[in-house]
Structure 1
Amino acid sequence: MYTEMFKSFSEQTEKTLAPYVKFNKVFTKNVEELTELQLAAVRAYSDLGLSQLKAVSEVKDVQSFAAFNSQQLETLTKLSQQLIDDSNKFASIAQSFKTEVDELVAENVKQVNPA
């Protein structure tokens, strides 16, 4: 008697908590992807900044200063492209998360309101 009652309670609890578990998995995946993106961005921007510091430390005369200045446009272009790429990746992750949550909500609405 108690075995059936606990089994029934357990099944109902699993059924009730299933949407939360699915959402938590989607959310965790999203946070993981965002964290990886941020770590990669920090690495890229740090590398760029360090390379600029090294380059400016090599300036010793007018010729090296001119060479450094000519590289600045290339560096700014690289930085701009990195920012655009990071923004696109962020938008992609956000869109993926939205799509997965929308699918999860639609699935749960169908279970609650069968057609």
Structure 2
Amino acid sequence: MSNTNFDQVTQQFESMFFGPARAYAAMSLDYSEKLMAAQFDAAKAYSDLGISQARAALNVKDAEGLRTYVEGQQKVAKDVGERVKADAEKVVAMNQEVAQQAQKLTEETVKTASKAATTATKSTTK
């Protein structure tokens, strides 16, 4: 096999296999990083909320304090519900973005493979 043929085969493997595999791995790594950051952010927020609520409960010393604490729980429940909804929407948006990127990558890979196959067919018929 001559150097030219070897270079051509190497280029075809790069464009059809290795390049797309690296692009997909990079996309997956970016997604994992974003997902972990979102999870850490949510865990921190929920932990902070739990600690603040425990401190508020410890500060209850009389009936008025208990009434204020219980009334505050309604707001806390509403805030937690909104936070959970926002966190879920964020993850759904990230998943949709990754799906679109994967589809685009697949389409590009198919185009490249088709082009390479056409080129290879033309060069072998010459």
| TM above 0.5 | yes
List 4+ stretches of structure 1 deviating above 3 A: 9-13
Q: Percent identity?
A: 25
| Whole-Å separation in 2 of the counterparts to 1:14 and 1:103 | 18
**1:44 counterpart letter in structure 2:** A
Equivalent residue number for residue 93 of structure 2: 92
| Whole-Å separation in 1 of the counterparts to 2:38 and 2:77 | 21
Indicate yes or no: 2:113 matched with 1:112. Answer: yes
TM-score of the two chains, using structure 1 as the length reference: 0.89
Alignment of structure 1 residues 22-33 onto 2, 5 Å: 22-33=23-34
| Whole-Å separation in 2 of the counterparts to 1:77 and 1:51 | 16
Equivalent residue number for residue 41 of structure 1: 42
| Whole-Å separation in 2 of the counterparts to 1:109 and 1:10 | 18
Equivalent residue number for residue 77 of structure 1: 78
Q: How far is 1:12 from its partner?
A: 4.3
**1:110 counterpart letter in structure 2:** K
In the alignment, structure 2 segments of 5+ residues that lack a partner are: 119-126
Q: How far is 1:110 from its partner?
A: 1.4
| Whole-Å separation in 2 of the counterparts to 1:109 and 1:14 | 14
- Bigger radius of gyration, 1 or 2? 2
What SS does the corresponding residue of 1:113 show, helix, strand or coil?
helix
**1:94 counterpart letter in structure 2:** N
Q: How far is 1:109 from its partner?
A: 1.4
Equivalent residue number for residue 14 of structure 2: 14
In the alignment, structure 1 segments of 5+ residues that lack a partner are: none
**1:98 counterpart letter in structure 2:** A
Q: How far is 1:108 from its partner?
A: 1.0
**1:24 counterpart letter in structure 2:** A
Provide the alpha-carbon RMSD of the alignment. Answer: 2.2
| Whole-Å separation in 2 of the counterparts to 1:61 and 1:86 | 36
What is the CA deviation profile of residues 71-109 of structure 1, one whole-angstrom value per residue up to 9, with x for unaligned ones? 000000110010011001000100000000000011111
Equivalent residue number for residue 123 of structure 2: none
